[in-house]
Every structure is written in C-alpha cells, then in structure tokens.
Structure 1
Amino acid sequence: MAVVRDLRVLLRFGNFRRLLAVRLLSQGADGVYQVGLATYVVFSPEKQTSAAAIASAMAVLLLPYSLVGPFAGVLLDRWRRRQVFVYGNVLRAVLATVTALLMVSQVPDWLFYVSALCVTAVNRFVLAGLSASLPRVVDKERLVVANSLSPTAGTLAATAGGGLAFVVRLAVADSDAAVVFLGAALYLCGALAALRIPRELLGPDTGLMQPRLGTALSGTARDLAAGIRHLAAPPRREAAWALGAMTLMRFCYGALSVMVLMLCRYALTSSTDDGLALLGVALGLSGAGFFAAAVLTPWTAGRLGAGRWIAVCAATAAVLEPALGLPFATAPLLAAAFVLGLTTQGAKISTDTIVQSSVDDGFRGRVFSVYDVLFNIAFVGAAGVASLMLPPDGRSVVLVFTVAVIYGAVAVAMARFERR
C-alpha cells in the first residue's frame, strides 16, 4: 500500500518522528478538551441548547483568539518554534486544569468561557508552529507526502482523542470535568515530547530571534502586512487562491457542523446520551474520511496538481452534500460525515502543500497564522449564519442548498484559475 510505504520512508527521518509525536499528543489533547467543552455546553441534560446558543459559544471561543493569530505568526517567525511547543503545551495543561475546576464549581458562565478561551488562544501558536516547522524536518521532494500524513495523523489523533472523551463521558455520569483533566494530562505529555527535538532545529532562520516582547508586538501590523504582500506576489498567487478556497470550504463545514449538532441533539435521537453517541459515530466516520484523504491526496494531487485536486474535492462535496443531507436521516448523515471528512481534508492537505512550497521560511509563521485566522472567522461566521437558518430541530433545506452552491462556486473558481 502506497501510504504505508510513504509513511515508512518519512519515519526514517528521526526529527520528523519527534515532530509527529508532538503533533499527535497535542492534537489528541485538543480532541479530548474540545469534546469536554462540547458535551458541557451542548449535551448537558439540564441545558436546552439552540443553534443560536451554539453559535454564541463558538463566537466566544473562536472569534476573540482570532486576534491572537497575527501575533502568533510574528512571534513564530522570531521565537524558537521548539520552545513554543514546550511552553505552550505546559501552559495549556495548566489552563485546562483550571477549566476542569471551574466546571465543578459554582461560577458564572463567562468565567468558564474565559478559561476555555485562554486554552484555545495558546493553541494558535502550537498549530501554526507545527505547520511552519514541517519543511525543516523533511526534504522538499517529500513535502506533499508529509503534508498528507502529518496533519492528517494529527486530525485523526484529535478524532481519537474525541472518541476517548466520548467513552469517558458515556461511561461515567457527569464526567465533563474528568474529560478535561484527561486533556490536561495529554497536553503535558506533548510538552515532554517536544523536549526531544533539538532546540535550534525548527527555526526560523532569521536575525530577529528572541526580541523583547514589546518590540515584537509593536511591529506586528508592519510584519503582518509584509507577510500578506509576500503571499500576494505573483509567484505565490496560487497560494492566495488556495487559501481563499479553503476559507469558503471551512465556512461550509462550520455551517454543517452546527446542523449536525442540532440533528443529533433533537431530530434523530430521543435522549442526550443517544445524541452524544450518534455524534461520536459521525465524528469517527469523518475521521475515516480524513484517513482516506491522506491515502488519496498524494496520488491525485501528484497527477492532477494540488490546485485541481482542491477543485475536485469542492465539486464532489457540491454534488454529494445535498444528496446525502436532504433526507435528514441517520444513515445518509453518517455517509455525509465521511464524504465531507474526505473532501475537506483533501483540500486542506493540498492547500498546506501549496502554501509551504510557495512561502519563504521567514514568512511561514505569519502566513499560517493568517490561514488560521481565516479558518476561525469563516467557522464562526458560518455558525452565525446557520443559527439564522436552522429551525429548532436542525432540519433546513435552505442551508443545505446554500452550502452546495458555495462548494460549487469554489470548484468552478479553482478550476478556472488552474486553467489560466
């Protein structure tokens, strides 16, 4: 099997193995932590969740730390990325522990959201740093394969962490705090794994290492503008188009995520535990789609080109999403979870590869942070739009067709760009 052979080749790179271990532990902890938050906010029996409440929670957790993204990019182009992984994961372990304590305490909701916000804010540094560091541990010829396997493995680790969290949550009554404690322990393991990477290896190569914090932050706007100009230059125009396409596909994914949450909570099940179990199955099948994307993308992107593969993924989603979504039934919903996992991850792998191969090392942190901010804004915006369209039980024909039209527009735009 080609993917097994490619993985064996990559695993011969010792530093790739070490960076992969950091990714798996960090994103596995993310999956545990995020499911702990979701079950606390959405599936607590005493809460009557609405689409608007879900959108509000996403806005509280995602929009504010989108402001952190530009700062993360500037600092990742100045601070040793290995140190970001060590200290960032330690800090997340501490903050996640605080979140768990707040869950079992009688405190205002806003204090809980502030704690969760702090964890996810640090997450911006770690995830952007992982993407920016990958070209430092593999050669250029294997970068597309590494982009297929490494981020996908991280996504699968997050899915597995989410599955573990579901098991804990369903096995132990009212165990949301225990789930979050488990996430804190995994964050700490991620910090320990980062210590095995040589301190200087992950870069960046720049003469501005370790500046005073105030100096770095005061230059954020200037440096971010330089990163955007770097991305907009003709040699990197394909990267800009790929980022735009991926942002719209993320919008679609966010809108459908809110719909699936509402369907699992109300329309397709009769209890919160049944709804949580169905959501867990849907996430598992979406993870299987991520794995399928890791297998298919190196072959298809190598023959079609990464940009054309993005167009194919968007076109596939445009056709199959309404066909599987409109019945609003369990079996088609689960099939759609697999399809959207495959198409979304396939497009993301291709986008990552285009950006990494086009952007100079000294700008990668900034560009990937812009990438991350676009992701978050699109996801939260989609949640807000979905909250206006969705009825209480989650069934909305208008939302399904709107998402299909956006997918179709992305497919046409990327196909036309690639032909030019």
Structure 2
Amino acid sequence: MSQPFSQIGVIAQLRACLGYRSYRRLLLVRLISQCGDGMFQVGLATLFFFSPQHAATVTGVAGAFAVLLIPFTVVGPIAGPFLDRWRRRNVLYYANSLRMGLALVIAICIALSPKNPVIYVLALITLGINRFLLSALSAGQPHTLPAHLLVMANSITPTLGSISAGCGAGGGFLISLFASGAVRNVLALGMAAILFCVAALCALRLSADELGPNRHAVTNTAWESLRHTVTNMRIATRYLRARGTPFYALGVMATQRFLYGMNFISLLVMSRHLLVKSGDITAGLKIFATIAAISFVGNALAILVTPAVCRYCQPAYWIVSCLCCGMISQLLLATSYARPVLYVSAVLLGFAVQGGKIAVDSIVQSDTEDHVRGRAFALYDMMYNASFVAAAFLAALTLPQSGWQPKLCLVLAAVYLVAAGCYARAIRRVGNAPR
C-alpha cells in the first residue's frame, strides 16, 4: 500500500481514484448501464408492478415492491458461482448485450400487444440480469484500485450510478413531452437498448482479466457450482463468518435495509393519504418526490463526510454511528408527521443509510479474498433485496392506511439501537481486521 488512507484528504482521494485508468473505465460502464436502467424503467412506467408509487393502499404498495424485487433476490445466489469463475469483464459485456436484446423485444411487444403478460416476464428477467451486472461491478472494483482508496470509491461510485439512472429517467420523461402511451414506452425502451449496447462496447475497453477473478483458487466449473448453489452459499457464509468482519457487516446491511424499507413504504403511503387530500395522486407523488430529494441531501452529506471521518476511525465504528443516526431519525418521526420533522428525519435517514452502506461495501470488498468475493456480493445482493421484500410484507401487516404509526417508529428506533449495540460488541470481539 502506498500512502495510508488516513493521511490523504477527501479531494486527494477522489483525484487518486480517477487517476486509475481501470477505475475510470469501470465507472464509465456503470454510468452508461445505469443511465439505461433509468430509461428502461420509464419505458415500463405504465405497468403497475413497475410503478409501486401509483398503488392506492399499503398492501398494493408492498405487493408491487415485493414482485419487483423478488427477481433481484433470486438472482443473487445464482450469480455468485459464475462471478467467481467467469471473467467479470465478459459478464459486463454479455449482460449489457442481453439486456439490449430484451429491451428491444419488450419494445416490440408493447407496440404490438401492450397487455401481453410476456412483457412482465421479460421485464423481470431484464431486472434480474441487472442485479447480476451490478454484482459483477462490485466484485470487480477492488481490482481497479488499491485498498486504501476503496472507501472513497464506494462513497462516490454508487451515487454517481444513481445520478446517472436519474438522468436516464429524466431523458425518458423528456420523451413524454413529444409522445405518450405506447409510443413513449417504445421510444424509451429503444433508447435504453442503445445505452445498453454502448455500455457493452465500453466494457470491452477493459482487458479480459482486468476485473478478475483470480483463477488459481478455482477447482470446479461454474455449472458444477450452480448445481450446488445452496452448498456454495453455505460455504461462502461459513467463510465470511470465519473472516468475521464481512459477516457482521452484511448482517448490519440487511438490518438497515429492512428498517429503511419499512420507513420508505410508510413515507410513500403517508404522502398519498396523510399529507394531502386522499385520492390526490399527483399532489401525493410530488410530496413524496420532495421527501426523497431531501433524503438525497443526507446521502450527499454521507458521501462527503464518510471518507473524511474514516481518516480518523475504522469503518466499523462509523457503521455504529450511522445506526445511531438512523435511530434518531425514527424517534423524530414518532413525534410528529409535520413537514419540517419529516424533512429532518429524511435527511438523517439518508445520511445513515448511505454512510453505513459505504462502510459495509468497503469492509466486504477489502476483507474478502477474491476467489470468494463474487459469492460474497451475490449473498450481499440477495440479503439486500430480501430485506426490503420482508419489510414490504411486514409493512402490509402493520401499517395503517394513513402510513403513520408512532409506536412502530419507536420499535424501529429500538431495533436500530439494538443493532448498533450488537454490532459494536461483535467488532470488539473479533477486532477490526479479518481473523
């Protein structure tokens, strides 16, 4: 390792990351791919299950999110064995190429038969491939940078990807100014296909083995591993548990994602029923968009603060602080649903979620050996999405139709506190380095 992470500033870290050609090329693939994702989702905007925000009840919102995320959850364990054997550069190329083809087929289906159920199946397959692709991006990133720059890379990369997806969605909405209905969807999906094609070509700028995996540790084929998917996940879990730090980080990530999912669905339903006259969908969505934008301020603050704080403390201790920040956000929300309280709570929650995720990503990337890293991130993705699906089901059972339940907010705050205490205890027991 060259210069220690703790001895260089945030701006210097960012410049150092961008100074690595491999990282710049991988980042470009991510940005173009996720821009295509945003455009693709606009092309599916008229399909109910791909627009949960339009559902009228808690059960409708939760059900739509569950249907949307289940493919992401299922793909996780399947992706891992392949990501530890296939060249990850090739995964980026073929995944984007396949998504390009599927987007074109979906566009044709919408043009010819907008209500054809095949559209739903193909769209869910495309979303599943997207999760496979994002796992490959995460597993390959440590090959593009030295370990001391991973915290900064994990701060900026996912956020830039989200911004790019937002730009793609914005481009899709611009299309709606000139077209509507099926024509708009077809044009948006066509543009998404073009972006997926460009991303696939950009992936070829990376050399074949530039993103790994390291092949000396591979002893069986991907198909053999696939036949033993459950065994592989159990092996990966056992490995992560033995390493200590990445295992507990994944546990925190899943817990935080579950709590965030409960809060997210609650705010969405509140925006539809409690904060506006019931039934005013447009006004409700505007309020929810405002809350989401304010939450993004917290994300942005976490991106700036996390690398700076990690100059003075280990990522594990920062995770504990972020969990405490999440607890405060829920305590505030339990007191009132007045707009100022909602906005402050949203900023704190956005900060807690993003700050914790940056630290978790860095721990899993740096403390997991490369021959297991693909399965580790496949397990990461499976837990990440399964936690939100679980939150959706619990929200459907516990949230009132108004979306606001002070007692539930207090329960979520207590879970944040317990999670922080358990994680701090685990880290003290195993230390900050893998065993």
Partner residue, 1:244: 251
Separation in 2 of the partners of 1:110 and 1:406? 40
Identity of aligned residues (%): 37
Change (3 A) 1:284 1:48: closer
After superposition, residues 16-415 of structure 1 pair within 5 angstroms as: 16-34=23-41, 37=44, 40-41=47-48, 49-102=56-109, 110-165=117-172, 174=181, 175=184, 178-207=187-216, 214-233=223-242, 236-269=243-276, 271-324=280-333, 326-415=335-424
Partner residue, 1:7: 14
Change (3 A) 1:100 1:50: farther
Change (3 A) 1:221 1:417: closer
**Cα RMSD over matched residues?**
3.0
- Residues paired across the two proteins, number: 418
Change (3 A) 1:141 1:278: same
**Which shifted more, 146-155 or 375-384?**
146-155
Separation in 2 of the partners of 1:279 and 1:194? 36
Letter in 2 for 1:154: G
Change (3 A) 1:326 1:182: farther
Deviation string for 1:113-163 (max 9, x for gaps)?
Answer: 322210121022111111111110111222222222223322333344445
Shift of 1:210: 12
Shift of 1:192: 2.3
Where 1:157 maps in the other structure, the secondary structure is helix
**Which shifted more, 343-352 or 34-43?**
34-43
Contact 2:107 2:186 in 1 (8 A): yes
Where 2:215 maps in the other structure, the secondary structure is coil
Separation in 1 of the partners of 2:189 and 2:285? 17
Deviation string for 1:84-107 (max 9, x for gaps)?
Answer: 111111222332344455556656
TM-score by length of 2: 0.86
Deviation string for 1:292-325 (max 9, x for gaps)?
Answer: 2121111222322111111100101101233146
Letter in 2 for 1:18: R
**Which shifted more, 346-355 or 389-398?**
389-398
Shift of 1:362: 0.5
TM-score by length of 1: 0.88
List runs of 5+ in structure 2 lacking aligned partners.
1-7, 430-435
List runs of 5+ in structure 1 lacking aligned partners.
none
Separation in 2 of the partners of 1:96 and 1:50? 30
Letter in 1 for 2:101: V
Change (3 A) 1:246 1:212: closer
Separation in 1 of the partners of 2:290 and 2:348? 14
